[in-house]
Amino acid sequence: MFIQSTDAAHPVLLCLHGGLPEYFLTERYPTGLENDFTVVWWEQRGAGLSYHPGIPPETMTLEQFIADTLSVSDYLRNRFSQEKIYLMAHSGGTFVGLQAAARAPQVYCAYIGVAQMVHQLESERRAYEYMLKRFSQAGNGRMVRKLEAAPVTMTAGTPAAYLRVRDRAMHSLGVGTTHDMTSVARGIVWPSLKSPHYTLGEKIQLWRGKRSSGVSALWDEMMTIDLAGRVTELALPAYFFHGAYDYTINYQLAKDYVEALKAPLKGFYTFGCSAHSPIMEEPQKAQRIMREDVLAGTNRLADGCGRGA
């Protein structure tokens, strides 16, 4: 894990990444969260600093990832002498984070879901339809043919041919990692290789681990499980940040889920200039919400005047 803080007495914020650890991206997209929190960028089982080729595949399960999250949370509570910490999950990390928060609400001050996953197969279907339409309108016949050859459906799932073109297609349309990132190679691969925070061997592990990290290991479950039916209630405050341009995880699905979710306090926050990474794309807005709503235990800045459950 990487730990950032201007004061170790700050509340602890544990961050769960998605398919790839994200700390290296803070070089280009600083979040500023360390000004109010002790931010823990934990690289989960099988990913980044935690990658090892000898990890038994049978341990890469949803139950294990939830147990890991709760174990690391307890470690941080003890290390920083705090009764509760904050849990922030992003993208694929929200699949684990939401369920960890539901299972052990007494551990956390609040749950913050950034690009909250709900029913990912439906999300992929909507992304497929959106991209097919956009490329058709742009006259990009080559991309249209690739997508038409690998349709995403609720019965057949996400074909391998679709997954091979998915990230490149999303980023070329500005609906991927960030709204301004048009290339995975320039926007993610190159910054990871330039990062001063990893050794050369760790940089190799970062990309080797992407194939065996939580999102890869849990992909089939993510496609079949609808969290809207599994987690209908949380016993702690819950905040959800989502970029309006995000098609990696569908904005509308997340918004509909939050509206139905029961929680003592909740808020959904639309980031109008962001795609999949709002805390990095609009950091000042995220900092304000974290400071004035999350830390204060309110939802005044949320969409729709911050109505609670």
Query: What's the rounded Cα separation, in Å, for the pair 143 and 266?
Result: 40
Give the global pTM: 0.93
Let me know whether 31 and 113 are in one domain: yes
User: How many domains is the chain partitioned into structurally?
Assistant: 2
Q: What is the CATH number of the domain that holds 16?
A: 3.40.50.1820
Query: Residues, the chain, total?
Result: 309
In this prediction, residue 306 carries a pLDDT of 43
**Is residue 232 located within the same domain as residue 97?**
yes
Q: Are residues 95 and 170 in the same domain?
A: no
Report pLDDT for 31: 96
Based on the domain organization, do 90 and 128 belong to the same domain? no
Q: What is the pLDDT along the chain (309 residues), one digit of tens a residue?
A: 999 999 999 999 999 999 889 999 999 999 999 999 999 999 999 888 998 888 898 899 999 999 999 999 999 999 999 999 999 999 999 999 999 999 999 999 999 999 999 999 999 999 999 999 999 999 999 999 999 999 999 998 999 999 999 999 999 999 999 999 888 888 888 888 889 999 999 888 888 888 766 677 888 899 999 999 999 999 999 999 999 999 999 999 999 999 999 999 999 999 999 999 999 999 999 999 999 999 999 999 999 854 444
User: Measuring CA to CA, which residue among 283, 307, 229 is closest to residue 36?
Assistant: 283
Query: How many other CB atoms are found less than 10 A from the CB of residue 304?
Result: 10
Give dist(CA 68, CA 90) in Å, integer: 16
CB 266 within 8 A of CB 309: yes
Does 25 share its domain with 147?
Answer: no
The verdict on 48 and 164 lying in the same domain is no
One domain for residues 174 and 53: no
* Domain, as residue range, for 188: 121-201
Instruction: For residue 108, give the 3-state DSSP assignment.
Output: strand
User: For residue 147, what are its two tokens?
Assistant: 């997508």
C-alpha to C-alpha distance for 193 and 197, rounded to whole angstroms: 10
Residue 93 tokens, joined? 């990390």
Q: Looking at residue 33, what is its pLDDT? A: 97
Residue in the block written with tokens 């939401």: 98
Structural domain contains residue 206: no
Cβ–Cβ under 8 Å, residues 101 and 108 = yes
CA-based nearest residue to 72, from 43, 38, 33, 31: 43
- CA-nearest of 15, 7, 215 to 112 is 15
| 6 belongs to a structural domain | yes
210: in domain:
no
DSSP state of 150: S
SS3 label, residue 135 = helix
